[in-house]
Structure formats: structure tokens, C-alpha cells
Amino acid sequence: MYHADELQQYADDHTSPEPPLLGRLVRETHLQTLMPRMLSGHYQGRLLSMLSQMVQPRRVLELGTFTGYSALCLAEGLAPDGELHTVEQNPELRSRVERYVEQAGLGGRVHLYIGDAEQVIPTLAETWDMVFIDADKIRNRVYYELVLPQVRMGGFILIDNVLWSGKALPSYPLKPADKDAHAVRDFNDFVQQDERVENVFLPIRDGLFLVRKR
């Protein structure tokens, strides 16, 4: 039997390499931020790019920008007149994100909002083809309910970290203090029962929910 790390390495080795700009962003993120593991990274980034290129969205919404890696990946599949709107709560990340957006030649097509996503979402008068939720896990359902009415029929919502280091699995003995894990587990069960959508749970990295609005 293979080991999980061996499997991931094999998957990485057989996945198209990330563009050099993203490689520089990875290095900078690891050198200059406290939690670089929040980065989507090579494998998941190429998946986000591939999904976006399949959909060719005109409008993408991202909740949780961090240093901008996933935003740049999702932007690779934008339609010629497409735009990506991304929301980040930490103002200290603004300059880095904007710098890499400009270097990617996406100035004017990627729009960064600094603030609480719960407050920002209602101000965006758009119809989304694709939404990527990678923010406060306790509020996953709040974000989901806010964006779902704005997603077009047949549009997609992606939710990250739905394994939560394996704590989402029923066999994991959760403690009352595991608030994020409880929230992720409850959210996953909710999506599974939501008749407004079709969903596939992808057990890659820390888990990715792929949801399609009926």
C-alpha cells in the first residue's frame, strides 16, 4: 500500500507546474507571513485554474484572499471580459496582493475588497459564475447562504478546508472546544441535504467541496 505523502507527491509530479510568478508568490508567502500553510499551493492551485478554464466564468467571487495565490489561479480561466472580485479581512495583505495582480497583468480585472465578507457580499451587484469560499470556517454557512442567491443557475461554489485536518470525519472524537471542526462538520452535512444544489466532496489537500446550483 502507498503512503498518503507518497500519493500526494506522485500527484504533484504529474500535475502541470505553476507559473513562475506564482512560484515567487509562494516563496514570499513562506518568508513573510506567519501562516503560509493557508496558501492554496501548487496542486490545488492547478485544480482551481483547471476548473476555472472549464467554466470560463465572466464573474468570480472569492472570500478569503490571503496573499492572492488562489485568486491568480482562478483568474487564469476568466472569459475575455471576465472579472474576479476577492474579499480579504486583513488590510496588511493589500499591497502584496495588488502588486502580484499588477505583475500578472490583471489590473482592472481583479478587484480587492478589504473588510468583513459578510458585510461586503451584499454590496456587490453581480451574478456569479463561480464562488470560492476560503474564509472563517465558523461562518461557512452564512457565506454560502449569502452567495447562493447571487450564483447563476448551473454556477459553481467551491468551499475549501472541508476536511479540517480530518476532524470533519465522524470517527474523530471532537471536543466542545473544537468550534471550527464542529462548524465544518455541520456545514458539510447541511450541503449534503441541500436540494438546491448538486455536490461532490473532493478529498484533496484539506478537502474541497464542489457545489453546483441546480
CA angle 206/212/214 to nearest 5° reads 155
pTM for the structure as a whole: 0.96
Confidence class of residue 1 from pLDDT cuts 50, 70 and 90?
confident
For residue 48, give every residue at least 6 positions away whose Cβ sits within 8 Å of its Cβ, in sequence order, or none.
Answer: 40, 70, 73, 74, 132, 158
Interacting residues of 9 by C-beta distance below 8 A, sequence separation 6+: none
126-137 pLDDT per residue, tens = 999 999 999 999
Q: CATH says 4-213 is which class?
A: alpha beta
> What residue segments make up the domains of the chain, in order of their start?
4-213
> What pLDDT shows up at residue 191?
98
Q: Which H or E run contains 59?
A: strand 59-63
Exposure string over 159-178, b if 16+ CB within 10 A, otherwise e: bbbbbbeebbeeeeeeeeee
At 46-91, the pLDDT tens digits run: 999 999 999 999 999 999 999 999 999 999 999 999 999 999 999 9
